[in-house]
């Protein structure tokens, strides 16, 4: 029961709540939403992302392809289908989830309305996670810009986890879901990651390794190409119920992702770090 | 390289302490470009693994999901009899849109829909349901007569033959003693229901019920009364103004096309307004959230109507030609002013004035409602008031409005009962359905359980069968349900999991996960489409599918139809005995498809792209204005002037059993709506003189009457519940992938309200109602109306699998077991509670 002496709060929540416009979101994210967003993303650092009007293809890159994502926050409904699809595709164990959906309150509003933000690995142009690896197990592929982990080399030291300002790396502590623990038929299903088709087993990689989103690169053909029509497409983008996750080659000026960056304003998170993420957000 | 816990902790702590600094260093290193690609090398590829498990290996079997009742299309990758992965089915419109022009735009038989189909998190997580190690694997027999909650049933594992023999013997004894009607049967709907209905008919019980009255029969009653269709569908993608009452479609995701068509509508300039006590995840996508007191939606809708009529903003042509009772309605809402509504709803009058104007002047617009307002004691009338706004703005069955879907048909070849069965079928239904003037064929669960628990009702049932349902958590009032189930001499539960309900059973038979069985799904899009569910793997434990279990019981009982045919043994097409149960059911399905809209056999159906049949004719609008061909009017009876608008046309004189088939509008006989007046009814003459299940007169106008339980000093807070994308009903809570998405259901409360109760975010609380109390953890957010608390339904299991138990808060125990007295809808949202710190 409420304390009788306490002043009851004013009810009437139903006042005229302001609209959420695009401009609002941008302004709020920049002004203060982003600070809390950054706080949610970073381990300790409070950093505001800058508005980045992207140029799709940055000249001077030798790389053939630069795979990236353009995620439309207006279309993201926060359903988490991407998170489940990622598990279904990569067979990640408990505690390892290559993508998550952040739910960030837009601070100034009187109703705590959330903004949903799906967050895979950003496959940064300058990935802070790479140079800290003492054994050269993690690197950015020159052919497509995807940052990978060589499970055979990774010693599980987790420096890269600390180095990633976006919390996109996860340690595989060797936990298993009951379907694996109890040796159901599912226990024999391998993870297709890196086309290595590793079956889960105690003491076997990737248990003990650091793991991360690969843009489902195992779905590329021999030429390094994806094909949406035949289902060889990153699992999160394929299942996205609001069609919010656009995926493609940022080096190809005609790709959907490049076109979207030309037409729409996009931001990248923690731009000031100079990491140059290859994942953009449309607001 | 496993390490000890101590090592783990130490290293974790080390990283945590050093984290900030290391991030800075690393970032600096990256920017300077040091060693960015220094370690690049080839990763080894497992060619044998790729060949065995890659996308080109095995088969991709098209089917339909049943992780919820949405029945979306799936493609299932099966390798060596193991389901590797589930993906969207690009040929199933349910996974993409509900409007045919959107569907066919860029559609090819080769690749399906243009942008690719989608599935929700639950659909993605289906493998974890299939390979759940806690599934029921073998028939179980109770040996402990104590059926109280929490008692150990002392299960004894028995063979299928023993289980079916023993259950059949009990059923036979009941039937032989002329008491077949004392079998009561409850089932999940959508799936495998027809053979269960057939069994009940042939056995001789009128007491077959299924899920819908726990869900949306209130909405069905509202729309059926106003426009003659149980389930009109919102054409979101073509709409410019969408007002939703108590519906959370982008999160509850009944059909997975909803997030796409709603966000796309907004992208195309539509305004989305969500009326809800909680800023749901759908409201999070809306331009405007309108917080409202629970159960007052009808009052708000009437005030909107008041403004629209007062300011003459309504579609006069539609109202004049296609509705009845407008004058009486207009008269009724004359004093239902925004100021009147403000005191009831807490919505400021100025907001109502503005929203009414927006709704009536933005075209096309639609107003839809689902279970939020529906699951209160005044839900049906409130739903009528809400639905009728669509009549005022004239967008019923019009693009961007509420569409009366053209449903695909399958032919249920329902058997005729033999004389023995016909005798007991004359008995009244145990749930007293006839007392509910707007009830649904799914029955009245709440009344059934109350009658059983309190020894009321027309007779005392002896055997209960519950198929893939968990009334202990799904029906309001868990204690009443437990008491009711304990009164049965025999309770048989068929389920995949040992649910709270199964724990009270005498026999538990292992059910199938949807990946192990057949079903036909007529999809909820606006034009005819049917998807096939088919077994993609054999049942894991060699168990029969539910329809096979039913058929096996039917065979043991020797059930025959009126012609003496042994129904569960004779093929529906061949007319010959089919010993194999699966083959028998395949023939049964084939007959349903052959006799229905597709007109093809099961084997032909399986070969369709995606195993989906889609009518090429597509969505049709304003079907009510279709003229009836003259040859169908020979012998027709006109109930009035043949030329006057509104004259109802019957196929033959009503005295000779004629039925209304059309209505005269603009000089022609048109199909109209499926109401008695063949027009949209502001005033339902059919309700004149009717009384509801409580004996109160039913008003033919969509009147606002306060719900019959309001907060008071002792229980000062409204308690509501809802669904989210992460879980279905109470049945996905052992699924570890879905628990990864949502592992608990905090009680959402406004921070000011929490403070009033001396509580803060994260506090453990006792939630107490007059009917029970339970524990919860509060989450303080301004997303909630200050007078209301609420939570996601389905958590708080004490059975149902190792992951499910002890997680979150169950809400059913806080409610009385009650049905809405008009439709029989279980009342899930009408509870008042108080909170104290645990």
SS3 state at B547: helix
Name the minimum distance, in Å, from the CA of A197 to any CA of chain B.
Answer: 5
Contacts of A233 in chain B (CB under 8 A): 116
| Same-domain pairing of B572 and B434 | yes
* Tens-place pLDDT, residues B538-569: 999 999 999 999 999 999 999 999 999 999 99
**Which residues lie below 8 Å from residue A194, measured CB to CB, with a gap of 6+?**
A148, A151, A214, A217, A218, B43, B45
The answer, yes or no, to whether residue A23 has pLDDT greater than 80, is no
> How distant, in Å, are the alpha carbons of B123, B189, B215 from that of B69?
11, 8, 11
Nearest to B27 among A2, A14, A165 (CB): A165
Name the minimum distance, in Å, from the CA of A31 to any CA of chain B.
Answer: 20
Nearest to B737 among A87, A135, A202 (CB): A87
Q: What is the CATH number of the domain that holds B758?
A: 2.40.40.20
Nearest to B40 among A79, A139, A242 (CB): A139
Q: What is the CATH number of the domain that holds B267?
A: 3.40.228.10
Strands B519-522 and B402-403, how do they pair?
A: unpaired
Closest residue by Cα to residue B207 from B540, B449, B566: B449
Last residue of one domain, picked from the residues B634, B665, B682: B682
Nearest to A243 among B83, B115, B836 (CB): B115
In this structure, is residue A16 part of a structural domain?
no
Percent of all residues in chain B with a pLDDT value above 70, rounded to a whole number: 95
In this structure, is residue A93 part of a structural domain?
yes
Note whether A242 contacts B259, CB cutoff 8 Å. yes
Note whether B39 contacts A138, CB cutoff 8 Å. yes
Note whether B737 contacts A188, CB cutoff 8 Å. no
Q: For residues B49-74, give the mean pLDDT.
A: 97
Note whether B29 contacts A128, CB cutoff 8 Å. yes
> Rounded to an integer, what distance in angstroms lies between the CA atom of residue B208 and that of residue B184?
6
Q: For residues A57-82, give the mean pLDDT.
A: 84
Residue of A nearest to B712 (CA): A1
* Tens-place pLDDT, residues A198-242: 999 999 999 999 999 999 999 999 999 999 999 999 999 999 999
Note whether B133 contacts A240, CB cutoff 8 Å. no
In this structure, is residue A253 part of a structural domain?
yes
In this structure, is residue A60 part of a structural domain?
yes
Note whether B121 contacts A83, CB cutoff 8 Å. yes
Compute the residue count for chain A.
283
Name the minimum distance, in Å, from the CA of A213 to any CA of chain B.
Answer: 16
Percent of all residues in chain B with a pLDDT value above 90, rounded to a whole number: 95
Range of the domain at B448: 140-215+417-520+542-593
Q: For testing the chain B interface, which of A162, A216, A230 should be mutated: the one with the most B CBs within 10 Å? A: A162
- A106: its two tokens: 């837009």
Name the minimum distance, in Å, from the CA of B702 to any CA of chain A.
Answer: 24
| Same-domain pairing of B491 and B559 | yes
Note whether A241 contacts B259, CB cutoff 8 Å. yes
- pLDDT interval class at A187 (50, 70, 90): very high
Contacts of A79 in chain B (CB under 8 A): 120-121, 250-251, 253, 259, 281, 725
Nearest to B758 among A3, A15, A89 (CB): A3
In this structure, is residue A31 part of a structural domain?
yes
**Alpha helix (H) residue ranges in B105-230:** 121-124, 126-130, 160-176, 193-203, 217-227
**The pLDDT value given to residue B192:** 86
Nearest to A197 among B31, B49, B758 (CB): B49
Q: For testing the chain B interface, which of A19, A128, A161 should be mutated: the one with the most B CBs within 10 Å? A: A128
Nearest to B740 among A97, A229, A244 (CB): A97
Q: What is the CATH number of the domain that holds A62?
A: 3.30.70.20
> Rounded to an integer, what distance in angstroms lies between the CA atom of residue A93 and that of residue A198?
13
**The pLDDT value given to residue A214:** 98
Compute the residue count for chain B.
838
Contacts of A85 in chain B (CB under 8 A): 119, 121, 124
Contacts of A274 in chain B (CB under 8 A): 27, 30-31
Contacts of B266 in chain A (CB under 8 A): 74
| Cβ neighbours of B21 (radius 10 Å) | 11
In this structure, is residue B106 part of a structural domain?
no
Q: What is the mean pLDDT of chain A?
A: 84
Note whether A78 contacts B53, CB cutoff 8 Å. no
Contacts of A238 in chain B (CB under 8 A): 87-88, 116, 118
Nearest to A196 among B11, B49, B290 (CB): B49
| Same-domain pairing of B808 and B750 | yes
| Same-domain pairing of B671 and B725 | no
**The pLDDT value given to residue A104:** 85
Q: Tell me, what DSSP letter sits at residue B89?
A: -
Note whether B540 contacts A229, CB cutoff 8 Å. no
Note whether A78 contacts B251, CB cutoff 8 Å. yes
Contact B349, B407 (CB under 8 A): no
Name the minimum distance, in Å, from the CA of A151 to any CA of chain B.
Answer: 9
Residue of B nearest to A136 (CA): B39
Q: Tell me, what DSSP letter sits at residue B497?
A: S
Nearest to B263 among A74, A83, A181 (CB): A74
Contacts of B271 in chain A (CB under 8 A): none
Strands B208-210 and B233-234, how do they pair?
A: unpaired
Q: What is the CATH number of the domain that holds B205?
A: 3.40.50.740
**The pLDDT value given to residue A60:** 42
| Same-domain pairing of B319 and B424 | no
| Same-domain pairing of B495 and B644 | no
Nearest to B737 among A42, A84, A174 (CB): A84
Note whether B15 contacts A158, CB cutoff 8 Å. yes
Name the minimum distance, in Å, from the CA of A169 to any CA of chain B.
Answer: 13
Q: For testing the chain A interface, which of B118, B247, B723, B784 should be mutated: the one with the most A CBs within 10 Å? A: B118
Closest residue by Cα to residue B436 from B829, B710, B706, B818: B818
| Same-domain pairing of B551 and B446 | yes
**The pLDDT value given to residue A107:** 64
In this structure, is residue B774 part of a structural domain?
yes
Range of the domain at A42: 22-282
* Domains contained in chain B, number: 4
Closest residue by Cα to residue A167 from A32, A86, A92, A269: A269
Cα atoms in the Cβ-side hemisphere of radius 13 Å centred on B640: 14
Contacts of B43 in chain A (CB under 8 A): 148, 150, 194, 196
In this structure, is residue B564 part of a structural domain?
yes
- pLDDT interval class at A63 (50, 70, 90): low
SS3 state at B742: coil
**The pLDDT value given to residue B191:** 66
Contact B656, B641 (CB under 8 A): no
In this structure, is residue B344 part of a structural domain?
yes
**The pLDDT value given to residue B12:** 37
Cα B456 from chain centroid (whole Å): 29
Closest residue by Cα to residue A117 from A213, A40, A27: A40
* Tens-place pLDDT, residues B429-463: 999 999 999 999 999 999 999 999 999 999 999 99
Note whether B256 contacts A241, CB cutoff 8 Å. yes
Q: For testing the chain B interface, which of A49, A80, A129 should be mutated: the one with the most B CBs within 10 Å? A: A80
| Same-domain pairing of B515 and B457 | yes
Cα atoms in the Cβ-side hemisphere of radius 13 Å centred on A68: 30
* Tens-place pLDDT, residues A85-110: 999 999 999 999 999 999 987 667 78
Residue of A nearest to B725 (CA): A79
Name the minimum distance, in Å, from the CA of B281 to any CA of chain A.
Answer: 7
Contact A49, A38 (CB under 8 A): yes
Contacts of B37 in chain A (CB under 8 A): 130, 139-140, 142
* Tens-place pLDDT, residues B196-246: 999 999 999 999 999 999 999 999 999 999 999 999 999 999 999 999 999
- B672: its two tokens: 């109209």
| Same-domain pairing of B585 and B636 | no
Query: Between A and B, how many residue pairs show a Cβ–Cβ distance under 8 A?
Result: 344
In this structure, is residue B485 part of a structural domain?
yes
- B206: its two tokens: 């009128």
Note whether A196 contacts B288, CB cutoff 8 Å. no
* Domains contained in chain A, number: 1
**Alpha helix (H) residue ranges in B412-489:** 419-425, 445-453, 471-474, 478-487
Contact B449, B475 (CB under 8 A): yes
Residue of B nearest to A239 (CA): B118
| Same-domain pairing of B654 and B573 | no
Name the minimum distance, in Å, from the CA of B21 to any CA of chain A.
Answer: 9
- pLDDT interval class at B38 (50, 70, 90): low
- pLDDT interval class at B28 (50, 70, 90): very low
At residue A269, φ and ψ (nearest 5 deg) are -80, 140
In this structure, is residue A112 part of a structural domain?
yes
In this structure, is residue B228 part of a structural domain?
no
In this structure, is residue B208 part of a structural domain?
yes
Closest residue by Cα to residue B43 from A140, A277, A86: A140
Number of DSSP helices (H) and strands (E) in chain A, helices first: 7, 11
Percent of all residues in chain A with a pLDDT value above 90, rounded to a whole number: 74
* Tens-place pLDDT, residues A250-260: 999 999 999 99
Closest residue by Cα to residue B493 from B504, B482, B483, B484: B504
In this structure, is residue B62 part of a structural domain?
no
Contacts of A133 in chain B (CB under 8 A): 39
Better-predicted residue by pLDDT, B170 or A40: B170
Give pTM, 2 decimals: 0.92
| Same-domain pairing of B646 and B726 | no
- pLDDT interval class at B39 (50, 70, 90): confident
Please tell me chain B's helix, strand, coil percentages from 3-state DSSP, rounded to the nearest 5: 35, 20, 50
Note whether A203 contacts B2, CB cutoff 8 Å. yes
């Amino acid at each position: 029961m409420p304390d009788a002496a306490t002043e009851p709060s004013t009810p009437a929540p139903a006042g005229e709540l302001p609209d959420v416009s695009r401009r609002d979101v941008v302004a709020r994210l920049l002004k203060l939403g982003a600070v809390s967003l950054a706080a949610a993303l970073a381990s300790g650092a409070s950093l505001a992302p800058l508005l980045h009007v992207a140029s799709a293809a940055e000249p001077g890159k030798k790389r053939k392809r630069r795979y990236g994502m353009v995620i439309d926050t207006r279309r993201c409904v926060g359903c988490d289908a991407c998170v489940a699809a990622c598990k279904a595709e990569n067979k990640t164990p408990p505690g390892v989830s290559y993508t998550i959906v952040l739910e960030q309150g837009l601070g100034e509003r009187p109703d705590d309305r959330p903004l949903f933000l799906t967050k895979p690995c950003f496959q940064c142009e300058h990935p802070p996670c790479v140079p800290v690896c003492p054994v050269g197990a993690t690197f950015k592929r020159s052919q497509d810009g995807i940052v990978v982990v060589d499970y055979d080399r990774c010693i599980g030291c987790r420096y890269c986890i600390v180095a990633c300002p976006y919390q996109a790396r996860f340690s595989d502590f060797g936990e298993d879901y009951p379907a694996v623990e109890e040796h159901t038929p599912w226990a024999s299903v391998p993870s297709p990651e890196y086309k290595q088709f590793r079956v889960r087993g105690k003491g076997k990689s990737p248990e003990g390794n650091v793991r991360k989103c690969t843009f489902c690169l195992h779905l590329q053909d021999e030429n390094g190409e994806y094909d949406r029509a035949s289902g060889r497409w990153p699992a999160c983008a394929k299942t996205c119920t609001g069609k919010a996750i656009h995926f493609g080659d940022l080096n190809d000026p005609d790709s959907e992702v490049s076109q979207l960056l030309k037409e729409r304003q996009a931001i990248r998170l923690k731009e000031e770090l100079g990491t140059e993420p290859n994942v953009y957000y449309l607001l | 390289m496993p390490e000890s816990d101590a090592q783990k902790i130490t290293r974790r702590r080390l990283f945590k302490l050093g984290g900030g600094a290391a991030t800075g260093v690393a970032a600096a290193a990256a920017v300077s470009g040091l060693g960015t690609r220094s370690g690049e090398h080839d990763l080894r590829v497992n060619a044998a693994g790729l060949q065995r498990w890659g996308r080109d290996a095995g088969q991709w079997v098209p089917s339909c999901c049943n992780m919820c009742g949405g029945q979306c299309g799936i493609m299932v990758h099966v390798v060596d009899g193991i389901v590797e992965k589930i993906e969207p089915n690009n040929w199933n419109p349910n996974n993409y849109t509900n409007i045919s022009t959107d569907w066919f735009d860029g559609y090819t038989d080769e690749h399906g829909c243009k942008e690719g189909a989608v599935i929700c998190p639950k659909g993605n997580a289906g493998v974890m349901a299939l390979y759940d190690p806690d599934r029921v694997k073998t028939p179980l027999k109770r040996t402990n007569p104590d059926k109280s909650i929490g008692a150990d049933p002392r299960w004894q594992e028995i063979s299928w033959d023993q289980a079916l023999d023993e259950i059949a013997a009990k059923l036979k004894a009941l039937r032989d003693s002329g008491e077949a009607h004392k079998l009561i049967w409850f089932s999940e709907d959508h799936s495998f229901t027809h053979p269960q209905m057939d069994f009940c008919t042939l056995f001789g019980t009128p007491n077959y019920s299924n899920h819908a009255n726990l869900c949306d029969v209130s909405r069905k009653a509202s729309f059926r009364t106003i426009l003659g269709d149980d389930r009109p569908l919102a054409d979101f993608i073509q709409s410019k103004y969408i007002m939703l009452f108590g519906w959370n479609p982008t999160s509850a995701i009944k059909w997975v096309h909803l997030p796409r068509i709603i966000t796309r509508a907004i992208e195309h300039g539509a305004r989305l307004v969500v009326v809800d006590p909680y800023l749901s995840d759908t409201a999070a996508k809306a331009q405007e959230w309108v917080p409202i007191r629970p159960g007052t939606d009808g009052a708000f809708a009437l005030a909107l109507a008041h403004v629209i009529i007062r300011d003459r903003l309504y579609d006069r042509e539609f109202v004049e030609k296609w509705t009845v009772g407008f004058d009486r309605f207009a008269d009724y809402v004359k004093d239902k002013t925004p100021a009147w509504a403000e005191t009831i709803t807490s919505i400021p009058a100025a907001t109502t004035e503005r929203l009414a104007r927006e709704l009536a002047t933005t075209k096309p617009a639609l107003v839809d409602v689902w279970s939020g307002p529906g699951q209160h004691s005044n839900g049906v009338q409130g739903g009528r008031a809400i639905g009728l706004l669509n009549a005022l703005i004239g967008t019923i069955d019009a693009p961007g409005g509420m569409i009366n879907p053209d449903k695909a048909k399958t032919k249920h070849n329902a058997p005729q009962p033999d004389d023995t069965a016909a005798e007991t079928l004359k008995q009244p239904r145990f749930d007293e359905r006839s007392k509910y003037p707007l009830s649904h064929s799914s029955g009245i669960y709440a009344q059934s359980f109350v009658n059983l628990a309190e020894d009321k009702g027309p007779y005392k049932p002896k055997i209960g069968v519950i198929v893939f349902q968990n009334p202990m958590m799904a029906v309001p009032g868990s204690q009443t349900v437990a008491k009711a189930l304990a009164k049965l001499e025999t309770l048989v539960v068929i389920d995949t999991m040992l649910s709270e309900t199964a724990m009270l059973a005498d026999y538990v038979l292992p059910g199938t996960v949807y990946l192990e069985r057949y079903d036909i799904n007529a999809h909820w899009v606006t034009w005819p489409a049917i998807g096939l569910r088919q077994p993609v793997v054999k049942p894991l434990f060699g168990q029969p599918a539910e329809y096979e279990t039913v058929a096996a019981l039917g065979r043991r009982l020797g059930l025959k139809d009126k012609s003496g045919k042994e129904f569960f043994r004779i093929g529906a097409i061949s007319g010959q005995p089919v010993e194999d149960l699966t083959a028998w059911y395949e023939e049964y399905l084939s007959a349903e498809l052959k006799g229905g809209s597709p007109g093809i056999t099961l084997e032909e159906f399986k070969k369709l792209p995606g195993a989906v049949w889609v009518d090429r004719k597509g969505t049709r609008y304003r079907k009510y204005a279709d003229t009836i061909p003259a040859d169908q009017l020979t012998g027709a009876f006109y109930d009035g002037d043949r030329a006057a608008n509104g004259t109802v046309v019957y196929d033959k004189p009503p005295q000779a059993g004629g039925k209304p088939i059309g209505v005269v509008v603009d000089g022609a006989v048109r199909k109209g709506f499926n109401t008695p007046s063949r027009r949209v009814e502001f005033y339902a003459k059919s309700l004149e003189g009717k009384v509801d299940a409580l004996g109160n007169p039913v008003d033919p106008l969509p009147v606002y009457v306060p719900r019959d339980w309001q907060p008071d000093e002792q229980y000062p807070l409204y308690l509501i519940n809802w669904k989210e994308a992460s879980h279905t009903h109470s049945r996905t809570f052992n699924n570890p992938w879905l628990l990864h998405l949502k592992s608990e259901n905090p009680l959402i409360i406004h921070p000011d309200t929490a403070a009033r109760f001396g509580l803060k975010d994260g506090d453990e609380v006792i939630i107490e109602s007059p009917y029970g109390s339970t524990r919860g953890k509060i989450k303080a957010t301004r997303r909630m109306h200050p007078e209301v608390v609420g939570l996601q339904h389905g958590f708080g299991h004490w059975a149902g699998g190792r992951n499910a138990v002890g997680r979150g808060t169950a809400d059913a125990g806080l409610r009385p077991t009650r049905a809405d007295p008009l439709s029989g809808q279980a009342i899930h949202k009408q509870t008042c509670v108080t909170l104290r710190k645990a």
